[in-house]
């Protein structure tokens, strides 16, 4: 188990160093000048990526993946205020228009995005965005919107945190280990196992989680108030208020881990569902999981053929204009332990304060 979790501990150590340097630059009042200089020279597009905005008062009582909680309400409000004051929030529609010969993007352009479609996006993030006048893109997995089912990866973590058994066996991953006693250790184990699981085909991932639901009698159909997707009515309200809605596939499958027919069905069906529900074309897709192994040339070709204008990865970085690959735009992940100084450093000096994206080997 220690080997499984070694990468996570290394990441925590690097996080502490980034926070210290960001806080130091902030205290010395150097962040603002360095950020302005960097963006004046780079002239690129910054896209920030969130999953959930949620107040978690008691982490021990929260039965889902804490790593998907990107910010609290208070933290998110401060972050959006900073973007409004120091940057120029834009929409993907503005990017598509600029690439098509329309007005160029303003300097220090930034886009706010959300992946998956958790209902706290509507309850917690949307009111703040609307109040501050900051547009955002919500990438949703349409199968979850239509069914109300919780997200499979998050449900796997939920099962690990709540099941009373003492052993985890997953033959497909050659894994047979004792479950740790503490919730902190189980969270770390869950993240490590999911990372390993994402290396196998999508249908195998789904089968493993479905089998554990039955084996442990914790079915996703039971639902949970802390892990619900948004509804179409909520998305229609957000869209009418100026928010954008994009595809995150149908069932949040890693597109590069599907066979060609299934991958194309996810790309096409999700776009059609969003267009039908909102009465407006879906122009942008975000690849579920989104790392280097989540999409490939075959996926990019299918997305182009399906009629999308742009695509987003979860690979860390910013985007030169015009982008070399408009269907693999890079983003900057926002995480809940980032204080205001670190967030300002993340968007102001992304080369130094974002997490490098790990390339999977094997």
- Residues 205-225 have pLDDT tens digits of 999 999 999 999 999 999 999
Is the predicted pLDDT of residue 346 greater than 70, yes or no?
yes
Tokens describing residue 12: 């925590």
Please state the separation of Cα 46 from the chain's center in Å. Answer: 15
pTM: 0.94
Whether 329 contacts 323, CB under 8 Å: yes
- For residue 26, what pLDDT is reported? 84
Task: Report d(CA 88, CA 22) in Å as an integer.
Answer: 22
Q: Could you tell me which residue, 185 or 357, shows the higher pLDDT?
A: 185
Beta strands in the chain (DSSP E): 46-50, 52-53, 69-71, 88-89, 109-116, 137-140, 167-170, 175-178, 244-247, 284-286, 310-316, 329-333
- For residue 28, what pLDDT is reported? 85
- For residue 23, what pLDDT is reported? 87
- For residue 242, what pLDDT is reported? 98
Average pLDDT over residues 291-297: 96
- For residue 297, what pLDDT is reported? 97
Whether 298 contacts 164, CB under 8 Å: no
- For residue 6, what pLDDT is reported? 44
* Of 193, 221, 215, residue with least CA distance to 205: 193
Residues 279, 323, 288, 54: is their CA dihedral positive or negative?
negative
- Residues 1-22 have pLDDT tens digits of 555 554 444 455 567 788 889 8
- Residues 19-77 have pLDDT tens digits of 889 888 888 888 889 899 999 999 999 999 999 999 999 999 999 999 999 999 999 99
Calculate the alpha carbon distances from 20 to 17, 48, 78, 316, 348 in Å.
Answer: 5, 21, 19, 21, 16
Whether 161 contacts 63, CB under 8 Å: yes
Calculate the alpha carbon distances from 125 to 56, 230, 237, 345 in Å.
Answer: 14, 12, 13, 22
């Amino acid at each position: 188990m220690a080997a499984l979790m070694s990468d996570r501990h290394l990441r925590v150590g690097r996080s502490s160093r980034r926070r210290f340097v960001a806080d130091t630059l902030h205290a010395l009042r150097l962040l603002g000048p360095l950020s302005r200089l960097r963006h004046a020279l780079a002239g690129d597009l910054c896209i920030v990526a969130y999953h959930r905005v949620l107040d978690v008062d008691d982490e021990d009582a929260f039965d889902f993946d804490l790593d998907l909680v990107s910010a609290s309400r208070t933290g998110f409000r401060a972050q959006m205020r900073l973007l409004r004051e120091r940057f120029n929030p834009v929409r993907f529609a503005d990017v598509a228009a600029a690439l098509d010969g329309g007005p160029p993007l303003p300097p220090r352009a930034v886009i706010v995005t959300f992946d998956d479609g958790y209902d706290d996006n509507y309850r917690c993030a949307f009111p703040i965005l609307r109040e501050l006048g900051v547009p955002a893109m919500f990438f949703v997995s349409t199968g979850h919107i239509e069914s109300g089912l919780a997200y499979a990866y998050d449900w796997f973590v939920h099962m690990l945190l709540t099941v009373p058994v003492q052993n985890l066996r997953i033959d497909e991953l050659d894994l047979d280990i004792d479950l740790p006693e503490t919730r902190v250790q189980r969270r770390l184990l869950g993240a490590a196992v999911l990372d390993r699981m994402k290396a196998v085909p999508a249908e195998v991932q789904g089968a493993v989680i479905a089998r554990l639901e039955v084996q442990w009698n914790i079915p996703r159909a039971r639902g949970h108030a802390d892990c619900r997707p948004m509804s179409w009515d909520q998305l229609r309200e957000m869209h009418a208020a100026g928010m954008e809605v994009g595809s995150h596939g149908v069932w949040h499958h890693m597109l590069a881990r599907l066979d060609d027919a299934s991958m194309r069905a996810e790309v096409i069906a999700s776009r059609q569902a969003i267009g039908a529900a909102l009465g407006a074309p879906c122009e942008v897709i975000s690849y579920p999981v989104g790392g280097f192994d989540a999409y490939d040339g075959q996926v990019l070709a299918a997305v182009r053929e399906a009629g999308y204008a742009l695509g987003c990865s979860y690979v860390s970085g910013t985007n030169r204009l015009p982008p070399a690959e408009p269907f693999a735009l890079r983003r900057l992940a926002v995480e809940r332990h980032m204080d205001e100084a670190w967030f300002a450093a993340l968007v102001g000096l992304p080369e130094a304060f974002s997490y490098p994206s790990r390339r999977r080997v094997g």
